[in-house]
Chains A and B, each alone.
Chain A
């Protein structure tokens, strides 16, 4: 009698195991929850930082806001999770965040082996070096024997090893967890050089007290296409993030801005692509499971790609990055979005 009772408990536990976890689409989860969970950097000037009011801002953060605006029509319906280079993929895979917008390099093994889906590139970057001007170094090939601070768990770690090996140079890698700690160690002189993506270097340099005493070396030792990503197999949700990024780029190309988008959407445009984007022609929003005017919401909330770039990274900011390869394809850059058709 007793034993059968225990057995039934055991069976109940087993049955629980068999059921497993079934999940509806991420879009439904997000809608039900009422806010988007977005994984961002732990802090990187220009890309993800807190403003005076304590709100997260930045180039990467703007993409989270764009997706929130697409889903809810409210760019502030986002909860941010700060992730280090090490925790980001596990957090995404475990469902702790719905998407990552955290200057993450698109690589073969992350795409194929780690089963992540990259949705495009919002910044074309490359790895570089920053050194104190007092060292008198003008090229990365003069760094024989130097101590190099590096953020652990990033592709930069591998590029660094490759660069020094292929140039037959020795170095001391000094692994560090976050950008902030790396900056401190670099300033304390634990290392001679700090290496990371050049956008990150510019951001770090801008945050120093004496940026003029530090130089970014000319070498770019790797390709670092940075972009947003979601879980592999999360295709419907992935489409939303992908197109939230694409419409930002198309909007810049078509001259739609944060300020004029509502006015433009109010009247019928000659360019049919604009009408499709504004939801006045066809059922394009519904195809994604979003409202017809989702693009208008996105652009009214964050502005177009060029506006976001100028606001957080551009030449008038502390970081002062030129568009360079991140200019529109029409201006000779690499930023290009498929047609909204």
Chain B
């Protein structure tokens, strides 16, 4: 006890010492810490902004633009990494020797090279091997692959499109209710509806119906080559693609091993018992093995998701304008407010990580073993 108190006192003292010293030094330099600069114009442009932004916008807005870009990479990366991880993890257990070895090689290659090198490699390959916009590789004349990005048609939504969104929400809610009803019915009578098919149909057909009834309230803006670049459409820059793919593949390799470990952790007796009950092999996987494996898989997955999100700060290496490159990079540089900018970046990452952690812990609790 006394040692713990002592440690706390020492840590707090050191912290106080550093903060005091910093404030002192700033005062010696004649500067005071303050966040007022956040509301002054940033004066620089950002190539990828999902919200309205120009060089007259404030540093605060630049921060938000960066935050959204970070979020975009994190979400796309996590989704992709999870898909890659699960597929590779399951294939790694395949009894087919060739598949097994190929996936094994993929996993070892991906996770044993520092992720920064992967990012630089992907970026280098895209910028150096893909053609100039003038000689763009075209896919069905609507999408174009160039060394300045992947240009795809951009849907322009009209106000009526709102109804499609509503239909989608209703569809999902309906599907969830139907799934619960079907579950109850199965528990009561032992009979199952083909839930997956019915629900997929509901989720897809309802919005389509709404789209048709609202009079097709969306058009596509095609990318067109004009002057130096393709104009219009949606562009995925090489920086974004390199960062997302590198992070997804790298983290995916780790997830693959976690998934494999999780599945192997379920004793083979479970499979045999399921077969003895007459379950088909994919049902065995879905209803018996995976639910038990998930309990082992989820906790280490949390740290992989957190890693991916934090690794996205390597964006700076390829010039992707994430939160580190905007507020922690250019804003910091142009205003010289190193302490303030870094404190903002720090708190942002802390908040994102805590949020992911909280969500995953909730999910973990939900699927964990309920003892009766």
Contacts and interface: CB of A to CB of B under 8 A. Distances in A.
B227 A144 contact: yes
A158 B43 contact: yes
Interface in A159-178: 160-162, 164-165, 171-177
B227 to A, nearest CB: 4
Interface in A171-194: 171-177, 185, 188-190, 192
A174 B56 CA distance: 18
Interface stretch (B2-10, B253-261, B272-280): B2-10
A17 interface: yes
Contact of B43 (A3, A10, A135, A161): A161
Contacts of B336: 89, 109-110, 113-114
Contact of A175 (B147, B148, B319): B319
B333 A188 contact: no
Given A6-B6, A190-B148, A152 B45 contact: no
B286 interface: no
B228 A174 contact: no
B238 A17 contact: no
Interface in A246-288: none
Contacts of B266: none
A162 B55 contact: yes
Contacts of B31: 113, 115
B96 interface: no
Contact of A188 (B6, B45, B128): B128
B113 interface: no
B147 A189 contact: yes
Contact of B229 (A21, A90, A114, A145): A145
Contacts, number: 117
B296 to A, nearest CB: 42
Contact of B329 (A86, A147, A190): A86
B215 interface: no
Given A6-B9, A146-B227, A192-B228, A13 B17 contact: yes
Contact of A13 (B14, B29, B228, B316): B14
A172 B334 contact: no
A161 B44 contact: yes
A203 B319 CA distance: 23
B164 interface: no
B175 interface: no
A153 interface: yes
A2 interface: yes
B47 A17 contact: no
A146 B228 contact: yes
Interface residues of A, number: 50
Contacts of A13: 10, 13-14, 17
Nearest to A157: B44
B21 A17 contact: yes
Interface string A67-99: 000000000000000000110011001000000
A174 B30 contact: no
Contacts of A10: 9-10, 13
Contacts of A2: 2
A16 interface: yes
Contacts of B44: 157-158, 161, 173
Given A153-B330, A153-B333, A232-B29, A174 B147 contact: no
A16 B54 CA distance: 48
Contact of B21 (A20, A143, A144, A177): A20
Given A86-B329, A147-B148, A189-B132, A161 B45 contact: yes
Interface string B323-348: 00100011011111010000000000
B226 interface: yes
Interface in B40-64: 43-47, 54-56
B127 interface: yes
A111 to B, nearest CB: 11
A85 B333 contact: yes
B281 interface: no
B127 A188 contact: yes
B338 A145 contact: no
Interface string B141-154: 00000011000000
Pick the 7 closest A-B CB pairs, nearest first: A161-B55, A17-B17, A153-B333, A114-B336, A146-B228, A175-B319, A145-B227
24 contacts: A9-B10, A14-B13, A14-B17, A86-B329, A93-B29, A109-B335, A115-B29, A115-B30, A115-B31, A145-B226, A153-B330, A158-B334, A161-B43, A165-B55, A172-B47, A172-B148, A172-B229, A173-B47, A175-B47, A175-B321, A175-B325, A189-B132, A189-B148, A232-B29
